[in-house]
Structure 1
Amino acid sequence: MTDRLPGFSTLAVHAGAQPDPTTGARATPIYQTTSFVFNDADHAASLFGLQAFGNIYTRIGNPTNAVLEERVAALEGGTAALAVASGHAAQLVVLQQLLRPGDEIIAARKLYGGSINQFTHAFKAFGWNVAWADPDDVASFEQAVTPHTKAIFIESIANPAGSITDIEAIAAVARKAGVPLIVDNTLASPYLIKPIDHGADIVVHSLTKFLGGHGNSLGGIIVDAGTFDWSKDNKYPMLSEPRPEYHGIRIQETFGNFAFAIACRVLGLRDLGPALSPFNAFMILTGIETLPLRMQKHCDNAKAVAEFLSTHPAVSAVNYAGLPGDRYNALQRKYAPRGAGAVFTFSLKGGYDAGVNLVSNLRLFSHLANVGDTRSLVIHPASTTHSQLDDAAKVKSGAAPEVVRLSIGIEDKEDLIADLDQALRA
């Protein structure tokens, strides 16, 4: 044994996992069961009363999922995590702990189109409101703060634009306002950016994307940084006030620096129910083992493709933070020195029609609504993921009519460039 702290690649393979104590299986087993046998009546009562940790029912927790949770928490530098059914489910469970009817969050305008739709429309049914701010103008976040503000939400690398967000500057706004900063770290993964190191209090992921990495399993996760005082000013009663369903315990007081993760599990996941399948957890765990290898290949390929597109006569602009002349290059070198990620956009001189035609002519790239796959993917956001927005909102979110989004995979870069070249010529 050694006192050395494990490196990122070692954690990606080993964190949270041990050989199965019953069978000796080295790979984490899939515990495909709905429920778990109690030792006796006292054991059951202590589990239901939050007086002991253990397994009750897979909707609330499962041993396969627990390994995934511990591994992602270790990679992100958090105190605890909770795996759920999707990235959208992670956002729902997080905000259910923070918001009451009439409360609001401040969200960056540059977000995944599905998140914009979720915040703008679906959450209105709960009485939750959203104020939009410009991630390129930190002052706009501060100006949006009101007495009803309960959180700030940003993406570390914005989807679809691929722009880098100044996490530290916005974290300072959140601290001044006395609210947590939530960072969606899906496009970066902890291999490129660790938001907690830059002031984030909560990190969420769509595990479906780069962490799982193979386009075969849906999942989401919530990581608790353990940095926020949930009892201050009684802003967050779900965590600070006595919980009647648990004999009056106060979540913050009882669980300390992993109280938020516990609240998401025993107050959110328990009642809302977006549980992650143990099989999906197993698939995502397998994907995470190769995360460092894949992410570096993704980044290297993406930079090569972006460089090619930046000189192509059919292309009017390339938005990739890894290019030296890009407006986000300085932030990329600060926050993500290993690479600018694999998702970026470029604009075509032929406008909307050229974007639609391009995706139809590509042969190696798959035209679908996903990112973070080993395979290279393409989509025209204005006609698909951001189609619910008007043109002005599309432009603000980085999805103007002439924009095409790429998610660069781990194929040979020469083949990707050749496919883009023939499609652009066509």
Structure 2
Amino acid sequence: MTDTPSYGFDTLQIHAGSRPDPATGARQTPIYQTTAYVFRDAEHAAALFNLQEVGYIYSRLTNPTVAVLQERVATMEGGVGAVCCSSGHAAQLMALFPLMAPGLNVVVSTRLYGGSITQFSQTIKRFGWSATFVDFEDTAAIEAAINDDTRAIFCESIANPGGYVTDIPAVAAIANKAGLPLIVDNTSATPYLCRPIELGATLVVHSMTKYLTGNGTVTGGVVVDSGNFDWSASGKFPSLSEPEPAYHGLKFHETFGPLAFTFHGIAIGLRDLGMTLNPQAAHYTLMGIETLSLRMERHCQNAQTVAEWLESNPHVEAVTYAGLESSPYHERANALFPKGTGGLFTVALKGGYDACVKFVESLDLFSHVANLGDTRSLVIHPASTTHRQLSEQQQIAAGAGPNVVRISIGIEDSDDLIRDLGQALEKAST
């Protein structure tokens, strides 16, 4: 494809990055199940290892199947490049790796997936990094949390599990004023509903395991680079602006310009961290992305219908779906996500923790799994599973209190979903 910016989203999700295989003419992207690639000669090999030529060396770094996926997601997000890796959590580390060093910190939203809260509050300490958690509704608190050691700001576009809608333009303005990159996890919204780069984000991360793949078959993550950040302006990002000893003093930003972060992610991040996406997983994700817009339309339609029904149910205390007029984020969601607010939300049950457990166990059509974004409708009780490692105060701050159930609405018939929810709510109330 040429002149890709002129194509619509539905076309890009099928064609971006994909060309007929030059060797066989195969129209679908092949699975290049190979470890290494033959060099033309010694000079070619040296040029590749010196980053003087783009090509394939070893599949920990680059692979033709993965390369198509990287180009497709970057195009859909409006970025200049992307780096795929083994999971969404790997993508978050990959995004931070070039920015951080011992003693430095990142300012993050309190409204995050439970595993991300643990990663930021506990795991990154092992690298000597730290995180400052802030309620991103309080923009003054975000500004106050930034200090000389801050190197990034992190949030989710639509937060998992509660469906909280982040005011990305407002947070981006704070990041821009401070000269910091804004990293947005766009997993729950997908680029079909939201393009954070257009709203001011520097980097976008995804757990491709969720809506992008959409069929619950593989795990994967991606970091998308906007190409808009000046990594050399402040001296705060030496990994990108200063000489790199492993490449004879090459300066990534000086050499690669807008693609500096992407090249660093491959040449340093994947080389040394090794969190590689395998080509078969990339293939499954490419297949899923081909129907992303169609699925997201149905996810949003079904979620709206089911959320409205749940809100009127006598056993339900509250529903957090931003598509509801009762949501405090309804107007913001309409402004930022005009195509819909996704298929993920939480439901607070009047019976508390015990009612939530009984409700989950009484469902037939919904699958009780630790995943979201599947074509199938899924349910989980975060306080006893995904957010179990957090204190009750942290659970409540993340929108996953003891009386809350997370629901990921699939693309089934909405009447069938409502019928299943109804019978489970009845059983949970007795």
TM-score interval, smaller chain: over 0.9
Q: Deviations over 1:93-143 (max 9, x none)?
A: 111110000000000000010000011111100000000111211211101
Equivalence for 1:418: 419
Give the alignment of 1:252-291 within 5 angstroms.
Answer: 252-291=253-292
Q: Deviations over 1:47-92 (max 9, x none)?
A: 0000000000000010000000000000000000010000000111
Q: Deviations over 1:345-379 (max 9, x none)?
A: 01000000011110000000000100000000000
Mapped partners of 1:108, 1:177: distance in 2: 17
Counterpart of 1:119 in structure 2: which amino acid?
F
- TM-score, L = length of structure 2: 0.98
Q: Deviations over 1:139-179 (max 9, x none)?
A: 11101011010000000000000011000000011011111
- Alpha carbons 2:81, 2:259 under 8 Å: kept: yes
| Alignment length (residue pairs) | 426
SS at match of 1:337: coil
Equivalence for 2:146: 145
Give the alignment of 1:36-75 within 5 angstroms.
Answer: 36-75=37-76
Give the alignment of 1:299-338 within 5 angstroms.
Answer: 299-338=300-339
- Alpha carbons 2:179, 2:234 under 8 Å: kept: no
- Alpha carbons 2:110, 2:135 under 8 Å: kept: yes
Mapped partners of 2:262, 2:407: distance in 1: 33
SS at match of 1:90: helix
SS at match of 1:97: coil
Give the alignment of 1:63-142 within 5 angstroms.
Answer: 63-142=64-143
Counterpart of 1:149 in structure 2: which amino acid?
T
SS at match of 2:243: coil
Mapped partners of 2:125, 2:164: distance in 1: 28
Mapped partners of 2:40, 2:305: distance in 1: 58
SS at match of 1:399: coil
Cα offset, 1:2, TM superposition:
9.3
Mapped partners of 1:136, 1:306: distance in 2: 23
Structure 2: runs of 5 or more not aligned: none
SS at match of 1:83: strand
Mapped partners of 2:19, 2:105: distance in 1: 42
Equivalence for 2:33: 32
Mapped partners of 1:163, 1:123: distance in 2: 25
Cα offset, 1:247, TM superposition:
1.3
1:128–1:2 distance in 2 versus 1, CA, 3 Å: closer
Counterpart of 2:405 in structure 1: which amino acid?
V
What is the alpha-carbon root mean square deviation over aligned residues? 1.0
Structure 1: runs of 5 or more not aligned: none
Equivalence for 1:199: 200
Equivalence for 1:157: 158
Equivalence for 1:176: 177
Task: Please identify runs of 4+ aligned residues in structure 1 that moved more than 4 A.
Answer: 1-4
Mapped partners of 2:207, 2:426: distance in 1: 35
- Alpha carbons 2:381, 2:404 under 8 Å: kept: yes
Give the alignment of 1:246-257 within 5 angstroms.
Answer: 246-257=247-258
Counterpart of 2:31 in structure 1: which amino acid?
I
Cα offset, 1:284, TM superposition:
0.1
Cα offset, 1:258, TM superposition:
1.1
